[in-house]
C-alpha cells in the first residue's frame, strides 16, 4: 500500500469515521441495519432463549458467537481506529526521519529499514497507551451492554448507578482501577520489548 493511493485514501476515511463514532452509536446503527431491517443477527442478549436445549458444545459456541458479533464490533472499532491512526501517523513520521534516509543511503533495503527501524519505533506510543485501552474498554461496555442487553459488568454498573447501589458501584470502580494497574504494567513490559533504549533494571 502506497501513501496517497486510492486504497490509502478510502481506508483513511473509513478509519476516521470509526474513530469519530462512539461505540454505542455504532451499536445502534448495527442493530438497526443488521437486526431490524436485514434480520441477520439477534436484537440483543448473549444467548438464544433455547440455548440450554442445544446438546452439542459446537452449537452453543456458534450461538454465542452469533450473538457476540455486533457487540464485539462495537467494542473493537474505536480502539482499532485509534491504534491504526496512531500507527500510521507515527510510521509516516519515522519514514521521513533522517535515520531512515541514512540507513537507506548506506544500502539497507527499504523493506528492512521499515521493519527493523521505522516499524519498531512506531510501536512505542501504542505500547505505552495499552493500559488506557483496557480502561476505555470497560468504560465503553456500560452503554454497549445496555444497548445489546448483555448481562455483563457494564450493564451491572449501569443498573447499580440507576438504583444507587453504591457498594456495587465502588466494586466496579475498584475492578477498573485494578485493570488499569495491570494494563500499565503490561504497557511497561511492551515498551521495554519494542524500545531498545529501555532496559529492565537488575
Domain presence at residue 190: yes
Q: Output the pLDDT for position 170.
A: 92
- Residue 101 placed within a domain: yes
Q: Are 115 and 194 in contact (CB under 8 A)?
A: no
The residue segments making up the domain with residue 77 are 6-194
> What is the full per-residue pLDDT of the chain (202 aa) written as tens digits?
566 678 778 888 888 888 888 888 888 899 999 988 888 888 888 788 888 888 888 888 888 888 888 888 888 887 788 888 888 888 888 888 888 888 888 888 888 888 888 888 888 888 877 767 766 666 557 778 888 888 777 778 878 888 999 999 899 888 888 888 888 888 888 888 887 777 766 5
Q: Tell me how many domains the chain contains.
A: 1
Q: Is residue 187 part of a domain?
A: yes
Classify 60 in phi/psi space as left (phi over 0), alpha (psi -120 to 50) or beta: alpha
Short-list 76, 184, 86, CA closest to 140: 76
Classify residue 184: in a domain, yes or no: yes
Residue 179 lies in a domain: yes
Sequence-distant (≥ 6) Cβ neighbours of residue 125 within 8 angstroms: 86, 90
Cell 457476540 belongs to residue: 68
Residue 99 lies in a domain: yes
Amino acid at each position: 500500500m502506497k501513501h496517497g493511493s486510492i486504497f490509502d485514501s478510502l481506508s483513511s476515511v473509513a478509519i476516521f469515521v470509526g474513530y469519530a463514532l462512539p461505540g454505542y452509536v455504532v451499536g445502534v446503527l448495527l442493530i438497526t441495519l443488521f437486526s431490524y431491517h436485514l434480520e441477520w443477527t439477534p436484537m440483543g442478549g448473549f444467548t438464544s432463549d433455547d440455548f440450554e436445549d442445544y446438546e452439542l458444545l459446537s452449537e452453543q459456541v456458534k450461538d454465542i458467537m452469533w450473538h457476540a458479533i455486533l457487540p464485539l464490533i462495537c467494542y473493537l472499532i474505536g480502539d482499532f481506529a485509534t491504534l491504526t491512526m496512531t500507527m500510521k501517523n507515527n510510521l509516516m513520521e519515522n519514514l521521513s526521519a533522517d535515520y531512515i534516509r541514512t540507513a537507506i543511503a548506506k544500502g539497507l533495503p527499504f523493506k528492512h529499514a521499515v521493519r527493523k527501524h521505522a516499524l519498531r519505533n512506531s510501536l512505542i506510543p501504542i505500547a505505552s497507551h495499552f493500559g488506557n485501552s483496557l480502561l476505555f474498554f470497560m468504560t465503553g461496555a456500560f452503554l454497549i451492554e445496555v444497548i445489546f442487553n448483555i448481562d455483563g459488568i457494564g450493564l451491572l454498573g449501569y443498573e447499580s448507578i440507576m438504583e444507587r447501589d453504591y457498594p456495587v458501584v465502588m466494586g466496579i470502580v475498584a475492578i477498573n482501577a485494578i485493570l488499569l494497574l495491570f494494563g500499565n504494567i503490561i504497557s511497561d513490559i511492551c515498551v521495554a520489548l519494542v524500545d531498545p533504549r529501555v532496559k529492565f533494571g537488575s
